[in-house]
Amino acid sequence: MANPPRPRGFIGRRLYQLMHAPKPVFRAVFANVSIATLLTCAYLLYDLQVERALRSGADLGSVIGGSDLRTEAAALLVLGTVIFGSLLTYVIVPQPRAGRSGSERSGWSALLGFFASLPVAYIALVIESQLLKPLFVQL
């Protein structure tokens, strides 16, 4: 007689959940990560431009916007991730119907994208400010 499988521990259950995420959740997170990646690259370029102008003592008039607008640019990164991530999630995450003959779009798909976009946007800002910016400022 075969032994019954042992129940998974806490870490084992979390790894199983990570590896077997539902498709709508995976699509929502993927959509938001792709949008946040594009916006973070643009923000990193602007941040480096301002940082180099400040370190060299040059006038900020040569920088896009004419002054240090990094706070506003970070807010635009979060807002853009929320808006475009929610919109993209609405487009690529249809809700299944009861008959399984098709799918429909609803506000719940966009809401899923909204809830996925907030942590993704802030994690992108942390990665930019704590990892990428110090790496590229030294170059």
pLDDT at 23: 82
Domain range annotation of the chain: 24-137
pLDDT at 138: 83
0.85 surpassed by pTM: no
pLDDT at 68: 83
**10-residue stretch averages of pLDDT, the chain, 139 residues long:** 80 86 85 95 92 82 80 95 94 74 75 92 96 90
Half-sphere exposure of 66 (CA within 13 A, CB side): 0
pLDDT at 99: 66
Please enumerate in sequence order all residues whose Cβ is within 8 A of that of 65, keeping only pairs 6 or more positions apart, or say none.
none
State the Cα–Cα distance between residues 139 and 136, nearest whole angstrom.
5
Tally helices (H) and strands (E) across the chain: 5, 2
